[in-house]
Amino acid sequence: MLWLALHLPLLSLEAFCATLAEADRQRPVVLFDGHQVSAVNAAAAQCGIRPGMKRATALALAADLLPGQADAARDAAALQAVAHVALAFTPSVTLHGTQTVLLEVQASLRYFGGLPALHQRLQDALAPLGHPVPHRVQRAAAPTALGAAWLARWHPRGQGDLVLGTHATQPAALQRLLGGLPVDLLGAAPAQAQAQALQAMGLHTLSDLRQLPRAGLARRFGQTLLDDIDRACGQRADPREWLTLPAAFESRLELHARADSTEQVLLGAAVLLARLVAWAQARQARVAAFTLAMQHERSSRPGGDATAPATELRIELADPALDPAHLQLLLRERLAHCALAAPTLELRLHCSHVVQASAPNGELFPTRASESAGLVRLLERLRARLGDTQVQHLVAVADHRPERASLAVPAQGAPSSNPAPGDAFTPASAALPLHRPAWLLPEPLPLAERGALPWLEGRPLQLVSGPERIEAGWWDGEPAARDYFIAQAEDGSLVWLWRGRLPAVPGAVQWFLQGRFA
């Protein structure tokens, strides 16, 4: 058994900083737990604020302090994301305390090519999670779970590898390492009284504790302390419950400052999208659709509705993907079209639609499959920006009326996989002469007539070919009985125009321009 522990000492601070706007991240940030300071960032530490101070002291030391409340739910959500990343490497993942994730990796070592390679891959996978900088992670490896957790929390200088962190692969080596563990790391974090009592007795490290008689230690400090030491050294069993992955992804982020613009909403959404990608990777699936719900401010006007309205944005992908940049771009383009009714206070991301198939292989040289996949992605991005109906395919319809002979349908997915509507079919190109124009006007343009000739843009047209009679459509209520002519304009270009077989007003002939030959 080889346990890997990932300890995140600044998790609550980093989770809070992820909810801040861009401009606020440079300020000194302090987290308060009740009335005491629980975490400070670098800028606040420079002002002299330390954990344990009172609220008033902290506010007095830094003028532009950004105070925040410690929130256990927010920290738990951030730790869940780290655990989901770890689940992509091994199925045996469990949480320890509020800041540590434990992985059992003995069975995965051979697949990932050894412990250093596994460490590197874990680091790369954890990098996109923290915002704006990756989480600060202390790593340790040991044959027992509790031993690894303690080593990661202790993180002794000079004791471990730069790459691997503190690590011990044999129980004897672990016991020697653990000998130097300071006693205030034993037991639960808030057990300050126990640590002070031990230090008052002159016991500073774990090796001091082990030299004492066990019965006396158990009577003074309780059996749990002895049990923990035994579990850490491997002399007692330490069964753990493995973490299970939820079937649907649900995560919320409460923004610190209300978001008035798309950019601010996107910053918060980026955090949630990174968590979504981590969850989907742990499930070995790709995201096919997700929903972003934006909770707005309640209107304070009398008579407004009591429940806060929420705007839901559902994004469906034509080709399931796991690329956070691609998802971010789709969300950005859709948000640009969405009008927000009120400033946003909270973001919620929900995803239950994933595709279990394995991802397509990355290829060195482009093949037809990768080309069509890339084209689908391009069409998706264009549709997100311009609208679903603006990206079209043309379909030839078997109808003699020219305005019905060609139909533009919105494009979904790859061009060759698009199902054509019932009337459509592919005309054989060799069988057609070129007597149809390539450009058809959306509506026929009426032309003036002078001297028995139609006039276009102040110039007479010369009829050179025709008439071609098209009578169709008597069966669906839009009959067309037209005589089509090809005419030459003054500059030599050819146009297609028609006049009705039976004039609408007797005696007057009305010419219409239908298209141009290109």
Partner 1 sequence: MALSPSLGSCVAPATLQVSAARPVPAPATLPLFPSARPARSPEELHPALWRAHQLGRAQEVVLASGFADLDAQLPGGGWPAGVLTELLLPHAGVGELRLLAPVLARQQGAQRSLMWFDPPAAPCAWALAALGIAVRQLVVVQSRQNLKHRAREQLPAADILWALEHALKSGHLGAVLAWLPARLPADALRRLQLAAQAHEGPAFLLRGVQARNQPSAAPLRLLLASAGPDTLRVTLLKRRGPPLAQPITLALPPVLSAPARARALAGRVAPRAAVTAVTAVAAPRTATAA
Position among 439, 446, 478, 509 found at the interface with partner 1 (CB under 8 A): 439
Angle at 306 between CA 302 and CA 312, to 5 degrees: 125
Rounded Cα–Cα distance for residues 486 and 433 (Å): 14
472 in contact with partner 1 (CB under 8 A):
yes
Position among 293, 324, 453, 500 found at the interface with partner 1 (CB under 8 A): 453
Minimal distance in Å, beta carbon 314 to partner 1?
Answer: 23
Q: Specify the residue, 133 or 464, whose C-beta has the smaller distance to partner 1.
A: 464
509 in contact with partner 1 (CB under 8 A):
no
Piece in contact with partner 1 (CB under 8 A), picked from 28-36, 117-125, 286-294, 430-438: 430-438
138-142 and 166-167 strand pairing? parallel
Minimal distance in Å, beta carbon 432 to partner 1?
Answer: 4
Beta-carbon contacts of residue 382 (< 8 Å; ≥ 6 apart): 390, 391
Minimal distance in Å, beta carbon 427 to partner 1?
Answer: 5
454 in contact with partner 1 (CB under 8 A):
no
DSSP state of 444: E
One character per residue 387-406, x = contact with partner 1 (rule: CB under 8 A):
--xxxxxxxxx--x-x--xx
Rounded Cα–Cα distance for residues 88 and 104 (Å): 12
336 in contact with partner 1 (CB under 8 A):
no
DSSP state of 339: P
Minimal distance in Å, beta carbon 364 to partner 1?
Answer: 15
**Whole-number Cα distances in Å, 376 to 210, 370, 414:** 65, 10, 5
Minimal distance in Å, beta carbon 457 to partner 1?
Answer: 9
438 in contact with partner 1 (CB under 8 A):
yes
226 in contact with partner 1 (CB under 8 A):
no
413 in contact with partner 1 (CB under 8 A):
no
Position among 492, 502, 507, 508 found at the interface with partner 1 (CB under 8 A): 492
> What angle in degrees, to the nearest 10, is found between the helix axes of 214-221 and 192-200?
130
Rounded Cα–Cα distance for residues 21 and 43 (Å): 16
Rounded Cα–Cα distance for residues 427 and 278 (Å): 48
Q: Specify the residue, 101 or 480, whose C-beta has the smaller distance to partner 1.
A: 480
Position among 191, 226, 345, 470 found at the interface with partner 1 (CB under 8 A): 470
Beta-carbon contacts of residue 119 (< 8 Å; ≥ 6 apart): 139, 163, 164, 165
Tell me the number of residues near partner 1 by CB under 8 A.
72
Piece in contact with partner 1 (CB under 8 A), picked from 8-16, 58-66, 189-197, 372-380: 372-380
Position among 305, 368, 502, 507 found at the interface with partner 1 (CB under 8 A): 368
301 in contact with partner 1 (CB under 8 A):
no
C-beta atoms surrounding 505 within 10 Å: 7
Minimal distance in Å, beta carbon 458 to partner 1?
Answer: 14
Would you say how long the chain is, in residues? 518
The first and second tokens of residue 503, run together, are: 């004039």
Position among 451, 458, 477, 506 found at the interface with partner 1 (CB under 8 A): 451
**Nearest C-alpha neighbor of 86 from the set 32, 36, 129, 49:** 129
Position among 219, 314, 337, 469 found at the interface with partner 1 (CB under 8 A): 469
289 and 317 Cβ atoms separated by less than 8 Å: yes
Most distant CA atoms of the chain, gap in Å: 123
The first and second tokens of residue 167, run together, are: 């690590």
Determine the residue type at 191: A
Site for partner 1 in 147-186 (CB under 8 A): none
66 and 58 Cβ atoms separated by less than 8 Å: no
491 in contact with partner 1 (CB under 8 A):
yes
Position among 128, 182, 187, 460 found at the interface with partner 1 (CB under 8 A): 460
418 in contact with partner 1 (CB under 8 A):
yes
**Nearest C-alpha neighbor of 19 from the set 60, 73, 91:** 73
415 in contact with partner 1 (CB under 8 A):
yes
The first and second tokens of residue 240, run together, are: 């753990």
Piece in contact with partner 1 (CB under 8 A), picked from 123-131, 192-200, 249-257, 429-437: 429-437
Position among 316, 423, 471, 478 found at the interface with partner 1 (CB under 8 A): 471
Rounded Cα–Cα distance for residues 302 and 427 (Å): 65
Q: What are the beta bridge partners of residue 350? A: 250, 291
Q: Specify the residue, 61 or 395, whose C-beta has the smaller distance to partner 1.
A: 395
432 in contact with partner 1 (CB under 8 A):
yes
486 in contact with partner 1 (CB under 8 A):
yes
Position among 108, 494, 500, 510 found at the interface with partner 1 (CB under 8 A): 494
Position among 57, 94, 311, 488 found at the interface with partner 1 (CB under 8 A): 488
Rounded Cα–Cα distance for residues 371 and 379 (Å): 12
Piece in contact with partner 1 (CB under 8 A), picked from 11-19, 147-155, 308-316, 493-501: 493-501
